[in-house]
Chain A
Amino acid sequence: MTTMLPLQHDYDTIPGTTVFDGRLAMKGYALNKMCYSFNSAENRESYRQNPDAYCDLFQLTEEQRRALRHGNVAELIEAGGNIYYLAKWAGIYGITVQQIGAQERGITEEAFKEMLLRGEEA
Chain B
Amino acid sequence: MAQIIGGIATSHIPAIGKAIAQGLQDQPYWKPFFDGYNPVQAWLRDEQPDIVVVIYNDHGLNFFLDKMPTFAVGAAAEYRNSDEGWGLPVSLPFPGYPEMSWHIIESLVRDEFDITMCQEMLVDHAFVVPLTLMWPERNARPVRVIPVAINTVQFPLPSPSRCFKLGAALSRAVESFDENLRVVVVGSGGLSHQLEGKRAGFINRKFDLSCLDRIVGNADDLTRMSVTELVRMAGVQGVELLNWLAMRGALTGSVTEKHRNYHVPISNTAAAVMVLENESVPAV
What is the CB-to-nearest-CB distance from B31 to chain A, in angstroms, rounded to a whole number? 15
Chain B: minimal CB distance from A105 (Å): 6
Residues 16-38 of A contacting B (Cβ, < 8 Å): 16-22, 25, 29, 32-33, 35-36, 38
B3 to chain A, nearest CB (A): 35
With A87-B85, A119-B205 in contact, do A11 and B228 touch (Cβ < 8 Å)?
yes
Minimum Cβ distance to chain A for residue B28 (Å): 12
Instruction: Sort A-B residue pairs by CB-CB distance and give the 3 closest, nearest first.
Output: A91-B86, A16-B198, A16-B199
Q: Is A101 on the interface with B (CB-CB < 8 A)? A: yes
Q: A82-B153, A101-B201, A119-B205 are in contact. Are A39 and B196 (CB under 8 A)?
A: no
Given A17-B197, A119-B270, decide whether A39 and B85 contact each other with a Cβ distance below 8 A.
Answer: yes
A selection of 20 A-B contacts at a CB cut-off of 8 Å is A10-B226, A16-B197, A17-B197, A17-B199, A19-B155, A19-B231, A25-B154, A36-B60, A38-B85, A39-B61, A39-B84, A44-B85, A87-B85, A101-B268, A104-B196, A104-B197, A116-B203, A116-B265, A119-B203, A122-B199
Q: Which residue of B66, B153, B201 is within 8 Å of A105 (Cβ)? A: B201
What is the CA–CA distance of A94 and B51 in the complex, to the nearest angstrom?
Answer: 37
Interface flag for B232 (CB, 8 Å): yes
* Size bin of chain B's contact surface: 35 or more
Q: Mark A74-113, 1 if CB is under 8 A from B, else 0.
A: 1001000011110110111000011011101100000010
Query: Are A122 and B86 in contact (CB-based, < 8 A)?
Result: no
Q: When the two chains form their complex, are residues B200 and A39 in contact, meaning their CB atoms are under 8 A apart?
A: no
Is A56 among interface residues, defined by CB-CB distance under 8 A? no
* Per-residue interface assignment for chain B, residues 55 to 97, with 1 indicating a CB less than 8 Å from any chain A CB and 0 otherwise: 0000111001110000000000000001111110000000000
